[in-house]
């Protein structure tokens, strides 16, 4: 870390009023100058959505003391784009942190996660980035047991940087009687959401559906996954990248009759 | 391909009225029994978004002759989930095809692409899936030069299946004077969108922003990318997977002071 105070951009997907982002802002103020650009409403499940067919709004917010903050009508990925290109006038922050998400983003949830899409958007810009999520989706989630790990991980990233095109997906177990056991470097567990659609009728008799579902872990025997780590009361770190190419298939496909 | 007629689910992200999906439906009718579940409005840029905070609507549509079709209020990923779990009553289709998108989804656009999120959602369910996109975003785009390749690729996938957890990202060059030169198996080009925000004032004097930007290809020297292929008037196929773990970093991270 240089002597200059690092510039840290904070965003999230639960919206600027969530308690998770307040915790993150307060912690990052210990490490550098904080700027916040966060959605003005919850954006959970937005994946890597961006807003291209409607205009974006950006308003100054005084929700945090002594912090330059804006609320944005867009998605978490929009927030990072607007922060870099407009709020910060193309001055790249030293670190982008997203979260703390109310709810875990382990395993396949990384695909649907607005929290991680903000971190990956930063990685696309070559900015070191971390998404933090807690395995507790309540509004009243207790984040106090995560403070030390957040500071440790953020300090390491500020000091070492991240290889270009990568970002960290950090997940914490929900607060338990025992303190978190430690930090584990993990791979994304192989799992999926087994959807159930809850079919109902509105007061006008028209049918509608709620998306619900259960998490199904196909990796229950493995001990190197993020799912395993948080189940064992560890903090999990998965380094993520955004090249989706299935390299192992390239040769096989070249043999197809096409 | 077995003697039984394959069941093919068709979706897209431009909405059920787009001409790209009509082309795809008509082509798939040559290969099997087609069911359509597609968004009732354009969903471009939705990435892997899912709808969890508002209810989903699903209405029968008679837009296609002799095809069971539904329009859905959700995202492309929602459409695949609703199709599998509700419309098809958990009977897995033999193939999911998404598109033909009006606009290419090469390189990093795969992250923002609703077209590909539908294909990846299907892959998560273990269903062979293909996203088709044309490098022409106009509503009047001419898809006629893509028909042969669509049928060839879909037939190969129906015959061979796809390895679990993978889907194909197929991009076609815009119609040119010469026919498409052939099909290339590619990797995702390393590129990004260089955003520009177009700042305006609404009639009430309030500021708003349009997201715009230019595509920047960092891979201009490489000949094995999807970008290169379509620039050379080839159809590109990138096999995609959804494990974002940056495996090459796992050992390095274990040496961090944490």
Domain boundaries, chain B: 7-187+223-253
Q: How far is A253 from chain B (nearest CA, A)?
A: 7
Q: Which of residues 29-58 of B touch A (CB under 8 A)?
A: 42, 44-53, 55-58
Place of tokens 């900015």: A127
Distance CA A24, CA B104 (A): 37
A126 or B53: whose pLDDT is higher? A126
Looking at residue B248, its pLDDT comes to: 93
Question: Would an 8 Å CB–CB cutoff place B216 in contact with chain A?
Answer: no
Mean pLDDT within B20-33:
97
| CA distance, residue A42 to nearest chain B CA (Å) | 9
The pLDDT of residue B43 is 80
* CB contact B247 to A (< 8 Å): yes
More confident residue, A138 or A3: A138
Q: Please give, rounded to a whole number of angstroms, the shortest distance from the CA of A34 to a CA of chain B.
A: 22
Query: Do residues B168 and B130 lie in contact, with contact meaning Cβ atoms separated by under 8 Å?
Result: yes
How many Cβ atoms sit within 10 Å of the Cβ of residue B34?
Answer: 24
Q: What pLDDT is recorded for position B224?
A: 96
Helix (H, G, I), strand (E, B) or coil at A86: helix
Residue B199 forms contact with A (CB below 8 Å): yes
Q: What percent of chain B is predicted at pLDDT more than 70?
A: 99
Cβ–Cβ below 8 Å for A153 and B192? no
Which tens digits make up the pLDDT trace of A92-150? Answer: 999 999 999 999 999 999 998 999 999 999 999 999 999 999 999 888 899 999 999 99
* A241 CA: distance to closest CA in chain B (Å): 5
Confidence at A2, pLDDT banded by 50, 70, 90: low
The average confidence (pLDDT) of chain A is 93
What's the pLDDT at A81?
Answer: 92
**Do A44 and B53 count as a contact with CB atoms less than 8 A apart?**
yes
Say whether B186 sits in a helix, a strand or coil: coil
Give pLDDT, residue A201.
93
Q: What is the ipTM of this complex?
A: 0.89
The answer to whether the CB atoms of A242 and B152 lie below 8 A apart is no
Give residue B258's pLDDT.
83
> Taking CB atoms and an 8 Å limit, are A47 and B82 in contact across chains?
no
| Per-residue pLDDT reduced to its tens digit, B171-201 | 999 999 999 999 999 999 999 888 888 899 9
Residue B188: the pLDDT is 97
Whether B58 and B25 have beta carbons less than 8 Å apart is answered as: no
- Omega into A100 within 30° of 0, i.e. cis? yes
In this prediction, residue B3 carries a pLDDT of 62
Residue B101 and residue B130: Cα distance in Å, rounded?
12
Q: Which three-class secondary structure state does DSSP give residue B87? A: helix
Alpha carbon dihedral A139, A24, A122, A105, in 10-degree steps, equals -40
Instruction: Grade residue A1 by pLDDT with cuts at 50, 70 and 90.
Output: very low
| Alpha carbon distance B24, B9 (integer Å) | 10
Q: Which chain A residues are closer than 8 Å to B161 by Cβ?
A: none
With an 8 Å Cβ cutoff, are B211 and A258 in contact? no
- Which positions ≥6 away from B79 have C-beta within 8 Å? B11, B37, B38, B39, B72, B118
pLDDT for A229-240, tens place per residue?
999 999 999 999
Q: How far is A135 from chain B (nearest CA, A)?
A: 18
Mean pLDDT of A47-65: 88
Q: At what angle do helices B147-160 and B19-28 cross, to 10 degrees?
A: 50
Q: Say if residue B207's pLDDT is above 60.
A: yes
Q: What is the pLDDT of residue B229?
A: 97
Q: Does domain A7-187+223-243 have CATH number 3.40.190.10?
A: no
Report d(CA B226, CA B234) in Å as an integer.
9
Best residue in A50, A107, A206, A215 for a mutation probing chain B (most B CBs within 10 Å): A50
Query: Among A2-6, A154-158, B52-56, B83-87, whose mean pLDDT is lowest?
Result: A2-6
Q: Check pLDDT > 50 for residue B247.
A: yes
Residue in B50, B197, B238 closest to A211 by CB = B50
Residue B248 C-beta-side C-alpha neighbours within 13 Å: 8
Candidate from A45, A156, A246 with C-beta closest to B240: A246
pLDDT of B238 higher than 90: yes
CA-based nearest distance A177→chain B, Å: 22
- pLDDT for A3: 62
- Chain B residue numbers with beta carbons less than 8 Å from the beta carbon of A169 are 244
Give per-residue pLDDT as tens, A155-167: 999 999 998 889 9
The chain-wide mean pLDDT, for chain B, equals 93
Binding residue ranges of A for a divalent metal cation: 13-14, 44, 101
Considering CB atoms only, which of A56, A187, A197 is closest to B211?
A56
Instruction: Give the mutation candidate from B90, B120, B198, B211 for the A interface (greatest A CB count, under 10 A).
Output: B211
Which chain A residues contact residue B241 at CB under 8 A? 244-246
Partner residue opposite A208 with nearest CB, options B57, B249, B252? B57
Nearest alpha-carbon partner for B20 in B100, B119, B121: B100
pLDDT of residue A195: 81
Measured between CB atoms, does A153 come within 8 Å of chain B? yes
**Strands in A135-190 per DSSP E:** 166-172, 183-185
pLDDT value at residue A83: 95
CB contact under 8 A, B249 and A166: yes
Least confident of A39-48, A191-200, B75-84, B112-121: A39-48
Task: Please check whether residue B124 touches A, CB under 8 A.
Answer: yes
- The rounded distance, in Å, linking the Cα atoms of B13 and A248 is 28
Q: What is the pLDDT of residue B1?
A: 47
Provide the pLDDT confidence category of residue B51 given band limits of 50, 70 and 90: confident
Picking from A51-55, A134-138, A199-203, which range would have the lowest pLDDT averaged per residue?
Answer: A51-55
CATH for the stretch B7-187+223-253:
3.40.1210.10
The verdict on whether residue B224 carries a ligand-binding annotation is no
pLDDT at res. A134: 98
Question: What does the CA dihedral B80, B243, A98, B121 come to, rounded to 10 degrees?
Answer: 0
Judged by CB atoms closer than 8 Å, whether chains meet at B156 and A258 is answered as: yes
């Amino acid at each position: 870390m240089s002597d200059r105070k690092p510039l840290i951009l904070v965003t999230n997907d639960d919206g600027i009023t969530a308690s998770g982002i307040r915790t993150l802002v307060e912690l990052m103020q210990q490490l550098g100058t904080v700027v916040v650009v966060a959605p003005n409403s919850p954006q959970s499940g937005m994946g890597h959505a961006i807003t291209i067919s409607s205009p974006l709004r950006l308003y100054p917010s005084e929700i945090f003391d002594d912090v330059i903050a804006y609320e944005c009508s867009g998605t978490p990925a929009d927030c990072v784009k607007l922060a870099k290109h407009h709020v910060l006038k193309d001055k790249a922050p030293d670190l982008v942190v997203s979260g703390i998400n109310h709810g875990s983003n382990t395993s396949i949830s990384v695909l649907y996660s607005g929290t991680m899409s903000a971190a990956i958007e930063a990685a696309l810009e070559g900015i070191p980035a971390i998404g933090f999520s807690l395995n507790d989706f309540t509004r009243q989630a207790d984040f106090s047991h995560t403070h030390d790990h957040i500071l440790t991980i953020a300090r390491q990233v500020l000091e070492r940087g991240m290889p270009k095109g990568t970002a960290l997906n950090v997940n914490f177990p929900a607060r338990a009687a025992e303190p978190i056991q430690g930090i584990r470097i993990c791979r994304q567990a192989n799992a999926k959401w087994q959807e159930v659609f809850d079919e109902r009728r509105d007061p006008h008799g028209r049918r509608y559906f709620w998306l619900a579902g259960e998490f199904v872990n196909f990796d229950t025997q493995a001990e190197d996954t993020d799912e395993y780590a948080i189940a064992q009361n560890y903090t999990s770190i998965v380094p993520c990248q955004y090249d989706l190419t299935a390299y192992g298939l390239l040769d096989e496909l070249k043999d197809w009759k096409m």
